[in-house]
Structure 1
Amino acid sequence: MHTAQNTLLPALKLSVEKARNLSISAERLEVLQVLIDYIQSKVNSSEELVLNFICTHNSRRSQFSQVWAQTAADYFGIPAACYSGGVEVTAFNERAVESIKRSGFRVSKKGDDNPTYFVFHSDDSEPIVAFSKVFDDPINRAARFAAVMTCSHADENCPFIPGTDSRIPVRYEDPKAFDDTPQEAEKYDERSMQIASEMFYVFSQIAISI
């Protein structure tokens, strides 16, 4: 579903504008080009586009990536199914949940132990379903997807991921380093905005034939 700019939730619209104004280094653009090329190849061949963002605990960076990638795909009208997973089950970290709330997403919660979060980017959007899970959880597509590796630990310790047709490293620094410090919220928001900036850049580069 295409999400026109003016249908984003108002606070989220401001966050997206902020993210899209952030600069991206030449080094990061090179990293992102691999993901752009993969997405464009799927669009060109009219194949289903499935992205699975993978980090060790599926608690912070991979969750941010799933949420922002799905939002960016919907924003630009690119049909995509964005998921996330890990190699261990923990929980969508509450600090990261609070960060996406501060960005303007509407979030509801179900359950207590590894709760499921329903994340909305507009009033009429389907929710992005977010909870910690292993990368091959049944909710994630099992075949012909890109494994987007968002942390070095998962990238180095998962030498083989079944079902992928591409493995793309797009690594991010872990905001966990700032847990329980005065900089905690600032650093979580900083990482979230970096990921938002890069995911919106990626999907802005995709050409759709009419």
Structure 2
Amino acid sequence: MPFKTKILFLCTGNSCRSQMAEGFARALRSGDMEAYSAGVVRHGMNPLAVKAMAEAGVDISGQSSKTVDDLATKEFDWIITLCGHANENCPYFPGKARRIHAGFDDPPALAKAAATEEEALAHYRRVRDEIKAFVQGFDINAAG
């Protein structure tokens, strides 16, 4: 089996952005990435994130919300923070992990003022598509 780069996508609550990134990495980059996601805290899976991903053909309904403590025994090649809070509060990971920040808007925060689920989903879809493009274009061999 070829070597796969182990990547941790990290956001605040592991309910939306990091779950989307993990889902896309598993769906689109399973040949070269072993993807995980976690949050600084655990907020549970966001149902609109699950719905937006399903629309894109990626089922994340079986994923679970985790904290970094749940993955403390894993060694990662990359830690990718997806929001400012996670970037500022990213715990120390021992080992060779390279860390980068790739910030994305928070769909639940953007959708708070939405009058309908469809209006709310528009925010999730935009961020979902931005995360997909990031995951597809991420160079696992780039200098950290």
- Do both proteins adopt the same fold according to a TM-score greater than 0.5, normalized to the shorter chain? yes
Contact in 1 for aligned 2:7/2:34 (Cα 8 Å): yes
Per the alignment, in what secondary structure is the counterpart of residue 136 of structure 2?
helix
Cα distance in 1 for residues equivalent to 2:59 and 2:39: 24
Distance 1:61 1:164, change over 3 A: farther
1:168 is the counterpart of 2:100: yes
Cα distance in 2 for residues equivalent to 1:58 and 1:167: 17
Cα distance in 1 for residues equivalent to 2:94 and 2:125: 33
Cα distance in 1 for residues equivalent to 2:25 and 2:56: 14
Q: Could you tell me which of 36, 51, 54 is aligned with 1:83? A: 36
For residues 56-98 of structure 1, give each alpha carbon's deviation from its aligned partner in whole angstroms, at most 9, with x where no partner exists: 1001111111111222213xxx332100001111211111011
Q: Could you tell me which of 130, 142, 161 is aligned with 2:74? A: 142
Cα distance in 2 for residues equivalent to 1:179 and 1:163: 39
AA at the equivalent of 1:142: K
Q: Could you tell me which of 69, 72, 77 is aligned with 2:25? A: 69
Contact in 2 for aligned 1:136/1:142 (Cα 8 Å): no
Displacement after TM superposition at 1:143 (Å): 1.5
Contact in 1 for aligned 2:23/2:58 (Cα 8 Å): no
Provide the residue aligned with 1:187 in structure 2.
123
Contact in 2 for aligned 1:99/1:189 (Cα 8 Å): yes
Provide the residue aligned with 1:97 in structure 2.
50
Per the alignment, in what secondary structure is the counterpart of residue 52 of structure 2?
helix
Provide structure 1 residue ranges, at least 5 long, that are not aligned to the other structure. Answer: 2-45, 108-116, 119-129
Contact in 1 for aligned 2:39/2:65 (Cα 8 Å): yes
AA at the equivalent of 1:188: Y
Cα distance in 2 for residues equivalent to 1:96 and 1:144: 25
Cα distance in 1 for residues equivalent to 2:91 and 2:73: 19
Contact in 1 for aligned 2:7/2:76 (Cα 8 Å): no
- Which runs of structure 2 are paired with 1:11-26 in the superposition (5 Å)? none
Which contiguous aligned blocks of 4+ residues in structure 1 show a shift greater than 6 angstroms? none
For residues 5-45 of structure 1, give each alpha carbon's deviation from its aligned partner in whole angstroms, at most 9, with x where no partner exists: xxxxxxxxxxxxxxxxxxxxxxxxxxxxxxxxxxxxxxxxx
Larger radius of gyration: 1
Scaled by the length of structure 1, the TM-score of the pair is 0.58
Per the alignment, in what secondary structure is the counterpart of residue 9 of structure 2?
strand
Provide the residue aligned with 1:7 in structure 2.
none
CA-based RMSD: 2.5
